Structure 1
Amino acid sequence: MRTRTFMWALAGSLLFALLAVGCQPAGAPGEEAAAPQETIKIGGMWAMTGLLQSFGINSSAVMRYAIDQINAQGGVRLRDGRMAKLEAVLYDEGCPNVEQGLAAARKAASDPVLVVIGPTCSSIAEPVFGILQKRLDDPSDPGLQLPFFTDTAIKAGLASLSPWAFRNVPSEIKMYEALFRWLKETTGYSTIGVGTEVDFAHSKSTSDGAIKPGAQKAGFTIVADEGWKLTDTDFSAQVAKMRAANPDVVALSSHPFTTCGFLREASRQGFRPKVVVILTSSITEETARGCGRELEGAIGPTSFAPINKKASEVSQTVADKYNGFVDLHSAPVYENLMLLKQVIEKAGIDGRPDTVLQDRRKIRDALAQVTEFDGLLGKIQFRTDEPREVNKPWLIVEFKGGKFQPKHIPPEYQQAIVTN
């Protein structure tokens, strides 16, 4: 009896629900259900795991902030006038795992992603750019047709590998050449010791192609040249040899983890060079938190510092609300996305699943026509001598009082850099 009563009650409830639904007031004549929100997918391909995951975390945080800013203003306008929101799609490049990086690029190419920002590592960017199409409009070229707009991978010349590769990174060759020239002119120091992560593409190429020749060109004599690996934790032998050579300047072409390892060991051994010059990639909050005491007084070149209202606003908001840090590598994510909004609207993309390939090509072609765009420190120009590479303002910073502060602005950028 209880079962029968329950079943009748259930049936009555269902009948009431159906009648209630059936009795909903009809919409006005011609009224349709709200159309689903249009979205344009933007890829972010960075080191999200492993020793260099902080770079991916920072870049993805800036990406979320920039996309939120764009979407809050309505998103981007498509060719037919519709507005679409941007949506981030993240890929872990697995640096230094090249096969994972190549797989991530192929996955992005198979997804309805219109452009990718990244990668983090030059050792990933080089093979990834190598599988992009080399010759536009050549049906015999099987390369991936997907624009990459790099924010981090900084090894010289990478954009030349494919017409689909663009980069918003400074020239480390010019940066270190100018830094050592300024250092020589203002201090009179004459000797230098160099420490390098020899198994990491960016560290090794910057050491051999920018730091050493830049120092020698400025008149420094290299009296010590030590190396280690990205995963090393013992730097006692390298520091001991460097200490024995007693150079005026020590230049470290290494990332935060081993930079801090070397500096802590140098402190333990009582080795205090007059100046420590660090790699662009180590001018980050990660290094500051890892070895702030030992880092005090270190200098280096960077294309980002929170020295004006906009740069400070972006830096502070990303730190407070998105749990990331803005630095030389992650700042271009913001710059790239603000430019891509303009490029997408100018290119007149359709934004439909069946127009992904055409839309990618439109974005690539429109991006190739850009000559200048806004950066957080000032105007950035695409170079004419190296297509799809940029010339962007930079400065020398010093780690002082627990943070990186402006130390010297090269004369050619004193008018370009906004410092209000």
Structure 2
Amino acid sequence: MDAHHFNGRRRTLVKLAAGGALAATAPIFSPLVRAAGSRTLKIGYVSPQTGPLAPFGEADRFIIQQMQAALKNGTTVGGKTYPVSIVVKDSQSNPNRAGEVASDLILKDKVDIMLVSGTPETANPVCDACELNETPCVSTVVPWQPWFFGRKGDPKKGFNFTYHFFWGLEDVISVYTAMWQSVQTNKAVGGLFPNDGDGNAWGDARVGFPPVLAQKGFTLKVPGRFQSMTQDFSAQIAAFRQANAQIITGVVIPPDARNFLVQARQQGFRPKVISIGKALLFPSAIEALGELGDGLTTEVWWSPSHPFKSSVTGQSAQQLAADYEKATGKQWTQPLGFAHALFEVAVDTFRRTKDIDSNIAVRDALAATRVNTIVGNVAWGTGPVRNVAKTPLAGGQWVMGQKGQKHKFDLAIVSNQLAPGVPLSGPLRLIG
């Protein structure tokens, strides 16, 4: 039977865990706002709060508390106010775990909408569980190709219940090459692509970096895929040195970036530009590198200088970052804006839903989203595929702060061709 013919909240019950027994986690926060005479709307939230991908979930506690405060009086649907509960689960950076906790949220907690963030290893299994169980789901912080094609999406059909907003490989490739073309190098590039969802997409011979780099006059050396949490990068460093690679790129987790960068320096390999996705996004990862962090470049999906504001709290990007720093004592981090925006989409969807007790009606409202969020406009229907909405992308360079400055490193915006509303901090500089 077609999904569209299901009525009300009937769902196909699918258990993803081996043996059928689902491991349950108590949510970190399970607040309940009470309102007389109405059922509670439940938002499920899954992200990697522990494990090697934990930097992607670093801002979650702050965002959940912020949203609890913003929704303490509930939200209005069709003229009626409903209390809202947020149930949070940790994927532990493990795809199997992500699928299990998603099934818990769907089958036990019976969430009305699922939110998920942070790499294909968390988002894809959660979205798959939602698609199987006909639960409306919004995901982010995965380039759209590893999210869509990594889930065997068919561009002609798309998905029925899972919707995604972020940028794509075409955007990060464009940002990286624009940065590289702004400086003098020999255009020889070394690629670090692990054997995971992101690495296989970024390194893909058709949709990844290889064809575009060739077209733009760069030569790319990729010494094969490697497993995440690799301890020894000597083989890769030797291959890059042999190719005289003055530019290093790739998409790796923070521990792998640290191992590679420390070993490259120890072995006397000093590229002029290092632009790595995923690992170099976070202030904590850059600080852990010490002086090796100075001058590294990465994509910038969100920053305090992005010219957007929240549809829920009215805060500007700058105000959200400042509030986070004040509340946590930590430097702002890029997932902050996207975690906030997930809840903006959920709240906006609820408010426009015609029948809150129908998962089809919630899905229809979600698909019709047109909302200006803290990360920009989120609207499905104009993206590269049906279930994807694109957000702007800039390029940034980590600059070591002077004594007395607030942060040890600041992320300077050095490329804004795809995000002209984000002001430039200055030109890219070569690593010393």
Q: TM-score normalised by the shorter chain: which range applies? A: 0.7 to 0.9
Find the aligned partners of 2:288 and 2:235 in 1 and give their Cα distance.
21
- Residue 389 of structure 2 corresponds to which residue in structure 1? 390
**Alignment map for 1:207-356 (pairs within 5 Å):** 207-208=203-204, 209-225=207-223, 227-280=225-278, 282-308=280-306, 310-322=316-328, 326-350=332-356, 355=357
Could you say which structure has the larger radius of gyration? 1
Match of 1:147 among 136, 143, 148: 136
How far 1:331 sits from its partner (Å)? 2.0
Could you say which structure has the higher helix fraction? 1
How far 1:300 sits from its partner (Å)? 2.0
TM-superposition CA deviations, 1:300-330 (whole Å, max 9, x none): 2221112157212212322432577654444
How far 1:65 sits from its partner (Å)? 2.2
Tell whether the 8 Å contact from 2:185 to 2:246 is kept in structure 1 after alignment: no
How far 1:46 sits from its partner (Å)? 1.5
Runs of 4+ with deviation above 6 angstroms: none
Tell whether the 8 Å contact from 1:250 to 1:273 is kept in structure 2 after alignment: yes
1:78 is aligned with what amino acid?
Answer: V
Identical pairs, percent:
16
Partner secondary structure for residue 118 of structure 2: coil
Q: Which sections of structure 1, spanning at least 5 residues, go unmatched?
A: 1-33, 134-142
How far 1:417 sits from its partner (Å)? 4.1
- Residue 28 of structure 2 corresponds to which residue in structure 1? none
How far 1:192 sits from its partner (Å)? 0.6
Distance 1:203 1:315, change over 3 A: farther
How far 1:286 sits from its partner (Å)? 2.9
> Is 1:203 matched with 2:199?
yes
- Residue 416 of structure 2 corresponds to which residue in structure 1? 409
How far 1:124 sits from its partner (Å)? 4.2
- Residue 161 of structure 2 corresponds to which residue in structure 1? 164
- Residue 369 of structure 1 corresponds to which residue in structure 2? 368
2:234 is aligned with what amino acid?
Answer: S
Find the aligned partners of 2:329 and 2:119 in 1 and give their Cα distance.
21
Match of 1:190 among 187, 190, 203: 187
Find the aligned partners of 1:385 and 1:253 in 2 and give their Cα distance.
22
Distance 1:239 1:51, change over 3 A: same
Find the aligned partners of 1:67 and 1:419 in 2 and give their Cα distance.
35
How far 1:41 sits from its partner (Å)? 1.9
Find the aligned partners of 1:290 and 1:397 in 2 and give their Cα distance.
18
Partner secondary structure for residue 142 of structure 2: coil
How far 1:194 sits from its partner (Å)? 0.9
**TM-score normalised by L of structure 1:** 0.77
TM-superposition CA deviations, 1:47-97 (whole Å, max 9, x none): 2332222323333432332342343xx331133422x34322112224334
Q: Which sections of structure 2, spanning at least 5 residues, go unmatched?
A: 1-34, 308-315, 401-408, 426-432
2:390 is aligned with what amino acid?
Answer: N
1:311 is aligned with what amino acid?
Answer: A
- Residue 54 of structure 1 corresponds to which residue in structure 2? 55
How far 1:214 sits from its partner (Å)? 3.2
1:297 is aligned with what amino acid?
Answer: G
**TM-score normalised by L of structure 2:** 0.75
